[in-house]
Amino acid sequence: MSKLENLLREFDLRATPGRQEVLQIFLNYDFALSHSDIEKDMPKEADRVTLYRTLKTFLDKGIIHKVLDDQGGLKYALCSHSCNHEQHNHNHVHFKCNNCGQTTCLDVHIPPVKLPKGFNISETNLLMQGICGNCNRS
């Protein structure tokens, strides 16, 4: 049984070829992907609707998490260990490079923010933009 199949089973998912394909695409890149990024990487006969459903399933199961985008779309990136069906547990900064366009998950924690009394926080999303390390170097 392949690595991809195992990974999907770990999340209580049937290891269909389509899902393995999408999972592999995420593994191939170290930055967040939009629906259309993924679509471009799939065999052309793949069905867009199935991809919608696959992404939704992956989100629900805690395989991937949403990455906000300043243009209003969404991107997706693989979760690290701590996520599952019950709870997503993300506390890292997302950085979008305005030069290369890539959005990456940084290994930097979002600092705690104190809100006024009465606010309960369940989720936090921090998107920073600018020029990334790679683009500055070149």
Determine, following the binding rule CB under 8 A, whether residue 116 of this chain makes contact with a copy of itself.
yes
Residue 58's nearest CA partner among 17, 23, 94 is 23
Determine, following the binding rule CB under 8 A, whether residue 48 of this chain makes contact with a copy of itself.
no
Determine, following the binding rule CB under 7 A, whether residue 54 of this chain makes contact with DNA.
yes
The item of a copy of itself, DNA, none sharing an interface with residue 81, based on CB under 5 to 8 Å by kind, is none
> Which DSSP helix (H) or strand (E) runs through 61?
helix 48-61
Count of positions on this chain that bind DNA (CB under 7 A): 23
The item of DNA, a copy of itself, none sharing an interface with residue 46, based on CB under 5 to 8 Å by kind, is DNA
Determine, following the binding rule CB under 7 A, whether residue 18 of this chain makes contact with DNA.
yes
What does the alpha-carbon distance between residue 100 and residue 116 come to, in Å, rounded to a whole number? 37
What does the alpha-carbon distance between residue 74 and residue 34 come to, in Å, rounded to a whole number? 6
| Residues 73, 38 contacting (CB under 8 angstroms) | no
Determine, following the binding rule CB under 7 A, whether residue 48 of this chain makes contact with DNA.
yes
15 to 6, 10, 30, 53, 82: CA distances (angstroms):
8, 10, 23, 14, 21
Least Å distance, CB 87 to DNA, is 20
**Site for a copy of itself, rule CB under 8 A:** 66, 68-74, 93, 95, 98, 106, 108, 110-134, 136-137
